[in-house]
Structure 1
Amino acid sequence: MIRFIYNLFWPIGLLFFLPGHLLKMIRRGGYRQKFGQRLGIYDRALRARLSRQRSTWLHAVSVGEVNVALKLANALRTLEPDLHCVLTTTTTTGFTLACKNAPRWIEVMYTPLDYWPIMRHAFSVIRPVRIILVEAEIWPNLAAQAHAHRVPLALANARVSPHSERRYRQFRLFIAPTFRLLDLVCVPEREDASRWAALGISRDRIRVTGSIKYDPAEFDNAQRSGDAVTASLEDAWSTPGSKHPVLFGGSTHRGEEEILAKVFLRLRQQFPSLRLFIAPRHVERLREIRGQMDAFRLDVTLASEAVTHRELNADCLILDTTGELQRWYGIATVVFMGKSLTAHGGQNPVEPILAGKPVVFGPHMENFATLA
C-alpha cells in the first residue's frame, strides 16, 4: 500500500521539484548528455553490451560516493576476476568523474528515476546479479524490483548521522517497508549499527566493516598522480628561499567563503605571503564566490589556469574542477573543513587528515563526530 501511494503521488512530486532540480542541473552543466538514461531510455549499443553480461549494479549519488564505489568495485574485482559492473550516478559531476576514472569493465550510466515503469525497464536492461547502494541512498521502487527479481540488495558505507536518524524516525511508517527489503547493511561504526537497528533493520543483517573512505590506498594513488600538480604550484607560488603558506577551505558551503576571506585578510597582516585556496562543495557557485572575493579586492585565479601558467601572483585560487580535491590537499598548510559554520553536519575530514595536514572546523561537525 505504501509503495502504491508513493507511485501515485510520484508524478505530482516530480512536477513540484522539477523546476529547482532542472535549474541546478543547468548550473552544473552537462545535463543534456545521456539525459534519456534518467528516463530509462538506452541506446542500442548500450543495451547490446549489457545483454552480453550479468552485472553487479553499484549506485553512487555524486562525487564522494563515486570514489567509494570505484574503490569497492576494484576490491570486488580482485575476488571475481571476470566481474562486470554497472555504476549509476545522479549528478553530472559524479557522472563526469566516473567516466574519467572507471575501467573498461565498468559501464557508467545515469540513475533511472525511481518511478515504477522506469525502474522496471531499467532492471530489464541492466539485469543485475546484485545491487550495492553506496551510503544511505535507498529508493522504494529500486528496492521493490530487486526483491521481485530475487536480486540481493546491500548498502555499503551506510553511515547514518543523528540528524538523518531523527528524520528517518519521523517517516518510519513510510520507509520501514523499503528498509525491510535490504539484505545486508555494511556500516562504518558501531553507532551506525545501533541507529540502523533502531530504524527496524534486523541485527543479523548489519555488519560493522569500517569506512571505505578511510582506506589510504586511494589517497596514495591520488597523491602520486597529484605530485606534478603540487610541485608545479609550489614552484610557481614560491619565492627564492621560501614557500607561500596556504589556508585551504575544503568543500565550503555558501557563506563560509566570505568568512574565510575575512580570516585570511587578518592572518595576512602577520603572514604577508599567505595564500587562500577555496574548494567549494558545489562548483556551480564559482561565479558567486569569485564575485565575493572581488568584493574583498583579492586577486583570484582558477585551478584550471594554475596548472598551465608558471607564474602566479594571485591572492586566492578557486578549485573549479571536480573529483580532484584529494590530490590538492598536498599544497595546504592548514585546512578548514566546510559545512561546519553556516551549514550543519560538516564534510568528511579524512582526506586532509591522511594528507598529514592540520584540520580546523566550525561548531557543526555532527556527521563526523568521531573524527572531529
Structure 2
Amino acid sequence: MNLFQFVYTCIGSAAGLALIPPLWLHQRRNKEDLERFHQRLGWYPQALRSKFEGRPRVWLHAVSVGEVGVAAAIAKSLQEQRPGCRIVLSTATKQGLTRAKALFQNNAVCFYAPVDILGPSSKALKMVRPDVLGLLETEIWPNLIIGARGMGIRTAVLNGRISVRTIHRYLRIRPLIRHTLSHIDAFSMISTSDALRIQSLGADERRIAVHGNAKFDGPDPMAGGNPAKTWAQALYGLQPDTPVFVAGSTRSGEEPIVLDAYRTLLRDFPRTVLILAPRHVTRTDQVEQWVKDKGLSCQRRTELDGKANRRAAPVVLLDTIGELADTYSVADLVFCGGSLVPKGGQNVLEPAVWGKPVMYGPSMEDFIDAQQLIERAGGGRTVLNADQMAAVAAGWLRHPQKAKQAGLAARRAILSHRGAARKHAEVIVRLLN
C-alpha cells in the first residue's frame, strides 16, 4: 500500500469509528436512513446480494440525481452496443437512489455505494464483482479504485469533469490523487479543459480522451406528448395563462434573494406563482420560515393533490424528491440554484430542454459548458442579486413570445449536441473486450 493511501485510510478509518455510533443513533429512527447507513458501511442485505448475476457486468457509480441521469444515458447506449450486458448502479444519496430506481426500473440493480474506507469498499467490490467499474464525473475514491485494480477489475472515469473549483481541492492531496489515477484504465472526459486538468493531477495522457457531455443525452421530456405538464398543472392548480416562476435546487442563502425578487415581480404580475424547490428537502422548515418572514403565504407540495387539497397560496415549497424535472414543464421562467452562492451551480439543462429561459448566478463552474451553450442560444442569463433577477424575470413575462423563442433556441442547441453517451459507452466496450 502506498504511503499516501495508508495515511488516507488511517484517517478515514479513525473518522469512521468515531462517527458510526452517533450516526447510528441519529438514523435508526428512520427505516430508509438506517438502510442507507447500513449499505454505506458495506452491510448489504442478502436479498440484494443475490441479485448480482450474469456477465459481462458493469458497475456505474453516480453520486446523486444529476449523475444518475448521465448513467442512464450511457447505460442505454452500452446495452445497444453490447446486448445482454448487466448494469449495476450505485449512488450516495436517497434522492439519487429514488431517481435511479425510477429510471432503470428492472434494468439494473441499484444500491448505495460504500464509504471509501477499506472494509466497506472491499465488501462492495466482492459483492458486485464487476468486469468494469465506471465512475461518473468527479467520483475519485482511492480505496475503491485501487481495490478494484487489485481484483483485476478495469476502471474508467466517464463523463469526466474537473472544474476550476474542484481542482483546488485535489491539488491539496495531489500525491494521493496521482497514485489513485495511476490505477485507472481510461479517462473519458467532457472537454479539453477537463482533460488538461485531470492530466495535471497525474493522469496518463495516453489514457485520456475527450468525448463531450452525456448530460445532453438525457431523455427528451417533450418527446411523448406532455403528460408531465398536465400532471403539474392539475397538481399546482394552474390556469394556462398563470405566470409561473420555478426556482430549482436552491441552496441556503439563495431563497431570501429569490423571495425578494418574487415580491418585486408581484407588483407588475400579481398572479405569478412561485414554486420553490430547495436542493435538500430537509431544509423545508427553514425555507418556510423565510417565506413567512417576507410576508408571503405558502403551502408544501405534500399538502396538495390537485383534487380535494388544492393550491390556495402564491408560493409552493417542493418538499418531495424526484418531481422537480416535471415541475419545470409548467414554468414560464426558471432560476437554477447553487449559483448565487459558491456551490458551482446546478444542471441548467433540465429546464432548458423543456424550452424554458433560465437564470443563474455567477457560480456555474461545474456546469460551464451547459451555461455557455444556452447563453449562446439566447436562453440563459446571469444575475447577481434580487434586483437583477426581478428585472430579467419581468422582461421575460412582458415579452412572452421572445422568452419562449429564447427557451426553444436553447432546447434546439441541447438536442443538437447529443451523442456523447455513445462515445463514453464505447470506452466501456473497449475495456470489456
TM-score by length of 2: 0.78
CA separation of 1:225/1:202 partners in 2, compared to 1, >3 Å: closer, same or farther?
A: farther
Corresponding position of 1:284: 282
Aligned equivalents of 1:339 and 1:362: distance in 2?
A: 8
Runs of 4+ in 1 over 6 A off after TM superposition: 19-29
Contact 1:276 1:316 in 2 (8 A): yes
1:259 equivalent in alignment to 2:257: yes
Corresponding position of 2:195: 193
CA separation of 1:159/1:237 partners in 2, compared to 1, >3 Å: closer, same or farther?
A: same
Aligned equivalents of 1:23 and 1:167: distance in 2?
A: 31
CA separation of 1:45/1:28 partners in 2, compared to 1, >3 Å: closer, same or farther?
A: closer
CA separation of 1:179/1:338 partners in 2, compared to 1, >3 Å: closer, same or farther?
A: same
Corresponding position of 1:95: 97
Query: What secondary structure does 1:339 align onto?
Result: coil
> What is the number of residues matched between the two proteins?
368
Following TM superposition, by how much is the alpha carbon of 1:28 offset from its aligned partner in structure 2, in angstroms? 9.4
**Range with greater deviation from structure 2 (52-61 or 318-327):** 52-61
Corresponding position of 1:326: 325
Contact 1:223 1:330 in 2 (8 A): no
Amino acid at match of 1:262: D
Following TM superposition, by how much is the alpha carbon of 1:281 offset from its aligned partner in structure 2, in angstroms? 0.9
Aligned equivalents of 2:311 and 2:70: distance in 1?
A: 34
Aligned equivalents of 1:14 and 1:220: distance in 2?
A: 45
CA separation of 1:267/1:195 partners in 2, compared to 1, >3 Å: closer, same or farther?
A: same
Query: What secondary structure does 2:89 align onto?
Result: strand
Identity of aligned residues (%): 34
- Mapping 1:208-219, distance limit 5 Å: 208-215=210-217, 217-219=219-221
TM-score by length of 1: 0.90
Aligned equivalents of 1:268 and 1:28: distance in 2?
A: 40
Contact 1:197 1:203 in 2 (8 A): yes
Amino acid at match of 1:246: V
CA separation of 1:8/1:160 partners in 2, compared to 1, >3 Å: closer, same or farther?
A: same
Contact 2:229 2:327 in 1 (8 A): no
Aligned equivalents of 1:139 and 1:151: distance in 2?
A: 15
Tell me the alpha carbon deviations over residues 150-189 of structure 1, each in whole angstroms, 9 at most, x when there is no partner: 2110111111111111221221112110011111111221
Structure 2: which 5+ residue stretches go unaligned?
373-433
Tell me the alpha carbon deviations over residues 191-240 of structure 1, each in whole angstroms, 9 at most, x when there is no partner: 11111111111222122111111125344469745133234257x222xx
Contact 1:28 1:92 in 2 (8 A): no
Following TM superposition, by how much is the alpha carbon of 1:29 offset from its aligned partner in structure 2, in angstroms? 7.7
CA separation of 1:33/1:21 partners in 2, compared to 1, >3 Å: closer, same or farther?
A: closer
Following TM superposition, by how much is the alpha carbon of 1:336 offset from its aligned partner in structure 2, in angstroms? 1.2
- Mapping 1:1-372, distance limit 5 Å: 1-15=3-17, 30-33=32-35, 35-51=37-53, 54-215=56-217, 217-220=219-222, 224-233=226-235, 236-238=237-239, 243-309=241-307, 311-370=310-369, 371-372=371-372
Contact 1:229 1:307 in 2 (8 A): no
Tell me: higher relative CO, structure 1 or 2? Use CA pairs within 8 A at least 6 residues apart.
2
Following TM superposition, by how much is the alpha carbon of 1:26 offset from its aligned partner in structure 2, in angstroms? 8.2
Q: What RMSD, in angstroms, separates the aligned Cα atoms of the two structures?
A: 2.6
Contact 2:73 2:218 in 1 (8 A): no
Aligned equivalents of 2:32 and 2:72: distance in 1?
A: 22
Contact 1:37 1:112 in 2 (8 A): yes
Tell me the alpha carbon deviations over residues 235-274 of structure 1, each in whole angstroms, 9 at most, x when there is no partner: x222xxx622112111100011111111111110111111
Aligned equivalents of 2:94 and 2:24: distance in 1?
A: 12
Structure 1: which 5+ residue stretches go unaligned?
none
Query: What secondary structure does 1:369 align onto?
Result: helix
Aligned equivalents of 1:169 and 1:364: distance in 2?
A: 20
